[in-house]
């Protein structure tokens, strides 16, 4: 009965979901492309091999990037079908994964849509990445005897409270997950409170630390400070701090918004504040102060080239973004106080003096000036950040090896 109520709610919300896609497509036309995928139709044909098939769901851009190590490991043994829910996630998946891996939009979590997907691909296992708890997906896998694993699981305090409100539904759902790999003890404790059984969950760290050497051809540009994965409200703080920077005449500011459709809006904001601003796609000279990156997939190249990186979503309460990529690429890291999506990872960086946490424009400016003015301090931050990553490697092997053993390699 609980699942029936849930699916009735989904049916009622489908017009809302569709309208949301319609309006978002004005900013990013790829939202509307392959719309029928979300209804369980028109999927890319599966590979015709004798390997077993894994359905791997990574909801958006951050999850797609973070899941790369474990997907690459599993792809050595299985056929992989990746689903994502956003155009940026879909585009990035198609850029970083080989053609042999099938990539689609995920169906909405309505029982008929999910069943169409399952009947089309007939997966031998389903892997959901981090915090994607979809009751219809999980229940249908359970009733069809398809093992379902939560990999790299995390549950922030904010997400825990949200799920706890609907515990009448999620308690039964979580008990149907075959096995859960979670990043930290805190995450395990929260999942246990929601209903996962003690013998079906294990703390294994994060696969995001297993990022391999990134082929990031550095950007050819004047020295610059990078604002990475920024959200509304953060760009103004960055621009104000940059404006007060003593060395700004010799250093550019590059801003890479989390959602590139905001690039023109940010460029206009910079112009109104008195800056010479250009979109990266329009740069033909160095006659600018501020550059707004309006293309996806380039962030590693900017990390590898930057004097330092402010990692966004953290000066406003969005929960922050992953620090591991800039750490690996040698960019000194600045973050804000709102990092609840990566609380334990961030805490390791903070505890090891591997990043600078700021809470205001003044502190952001001070961090910028420190990294510009003291090369020795900057190198120490870079070194300590890489050491944090190095010490935490190994989670991919633990999770992938378990799944390989459980499924076997041949059908």
Domains and CATH numbers, the chain: 26-206+393-407 (3.40.50.11720), 224-391 (3.40.50.2000)
Percent of the chain clearing pLDDT 70 (strictly above): 99
Percent of the chain clearing pLDDT 90 (strictly above): 77
Q: How many CB atoms lie within 10 A of CB 180?
A: 24
Q: Is 297 left (phi over 0), alpha (psi -120 to 50) or beta?
A: left
Residue 138 near residue 176 (C-beta atoms within 8 A): yes
- Residue 411 has a pLDDT of 52
**The dihedral of CA 118, 120, 123, 126: what is its sign?**
negative
What is the reported pTM?
Answer: 0.85
Edge-to-edge strand list for the sheet holding 125-129: 102-105, 79-84, 53-57, 125-129, 148-153, 179-182, 201-203
Q: What is the pLDDT of residues 176-204, one digit of tens each?
A: 999 999 999 999 999 999 989 999 999 99
Q: What is the mean pLDDT of the chain?
A: 93
- The helix (run of H) or strand (run of E) holding residue 96 is helix 87-96
Query: Is the predicted pLDDT of residue 216 greater than 80, yes or no?
Result: no
Query: Is the predicted pLDDT of residue 172 greater than 60, yes or no?
Result: yes
Angle CA(205)–CA(207)–CA(208) in degrees, nearest 5? 110
Average of pLDDT values for 126-142? 94
Q: What is the pLDDT of residues 27-73, one digit of tens each?
A: 888 888 899 999 999 898 887 788 999 999 999 888 998 899 999 99
Q: What is the pLDDT of residues 66-118, one digit of tens each?
A: 899 999 999 999 999 999 999 989 999 999 999 999 999 999 999 999 999 99
E runs forming strands in 196-307: 201-203, 224-230, 252-257, 277-279, 290-292
Q: What is the pLDDT of residues 237-291, one digit of tens each?
A: 999 999 999 888 889 999 999 988 899 999 999 999 999 999 999 988 888 999 9
Q: How many CB atoms lie within 10 A of CB 80?
A: 23
Which range is most confident: 62-66, 161-165, 222-226? 222-226
Q: % helix / strand / coil in the chain, to the nearest 5?
A: 50, 15, 35
pLDDT band at 409 (very low <50, low <70, confident <90, very high): low
- Residue 128 has a pLDDT of 97
Angle CA(26)–CA(30)–CA(34) in degrees, nearest 5? 125
Angle CA(118)–CA(120)–CA(123) in degrees, nearest 5? 50
* Residue 292 structure tokens: 């707004």
């Amino acid at each position: 009965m609980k699942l029936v109520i849930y699916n009735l709610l989904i049916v009622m919300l489908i017009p809302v979901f569709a309208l949301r896609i319609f309006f978002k497509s004005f900013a990013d036309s790829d939202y509307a492309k392959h719309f029928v995928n979300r209804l369980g139709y028109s999927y890319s044909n599966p590979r015709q091999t004798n390997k077993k098939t894994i359905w791997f769901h990574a909801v958006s851009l951050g999850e797609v990037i973070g899941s790369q190590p474990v997907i690459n490991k599993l792809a050595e043994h299985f056929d992989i079908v990746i689903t994502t829910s956003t155009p940026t996630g879909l585009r990035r998946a198609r850029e970083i994964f080989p053609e042999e891996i099938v990539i689609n939009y995920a169906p909405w979590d309505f029982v008929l849509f999910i069943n169409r997907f399952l009947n089309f691909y007939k997966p031998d296992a389903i892997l959901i990445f981090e915090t994607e708890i979809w009751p219809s997906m999980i229940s249908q896998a359970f009733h069809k005897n398809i093992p379902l694993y939560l990999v790299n699981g995390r549950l922030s305090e904010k997400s825990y409270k949200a799920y706890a409100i609907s515990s009448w539904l999620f308690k039964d759902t979580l008990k149907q997950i075959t096995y859960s790999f979670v990043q930290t003890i805190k995450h395990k404790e929260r999942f246990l409170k929601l209903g996962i059984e003690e013998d079906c969950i294990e703390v294994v760290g994060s696969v995001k630390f297993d990022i391999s050497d990134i082929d990031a051809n550095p950007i050819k540009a004047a020295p610059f400070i990078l604002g990475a994965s920024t959200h509304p409200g953060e760009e103004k703080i960055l621009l104000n701090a940059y404006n007060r920077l003593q060395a700004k005449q010799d250093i550019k500011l590059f801003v890479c918004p989390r959602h590139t459709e905001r690039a023109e809006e940010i460029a206009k904001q910079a112009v109104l504040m008195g800056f010479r601003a250009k979109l990266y796609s329009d740069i033909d000279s160095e006659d600018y102060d501020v550059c707004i990156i309006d293309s996806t997939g380039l962030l590693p190249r900017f990390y590898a080239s930057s004097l330092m990186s402010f990692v966004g979503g953290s000066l406003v309460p969005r929960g922050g973004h992953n620090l591991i990529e800039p750490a690996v690429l040698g960019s000194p890291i600045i973050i804000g106080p709102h990092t609840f999506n990566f609380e334990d990872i961030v805490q390791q960086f903070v505890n090891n003096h591997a990043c600078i946490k700021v809470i205001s424009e003044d502190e952001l400016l001070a961090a910028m000036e420190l990294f510009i003015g003291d090369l020795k301090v900057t190198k120490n931050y870079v070194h300590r950040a890489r050491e944090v990553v190095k010490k935490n490697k190994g989670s991919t092997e633990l999770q992938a090896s378990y799944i390989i053993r459980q499924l076997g390699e041949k059908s």
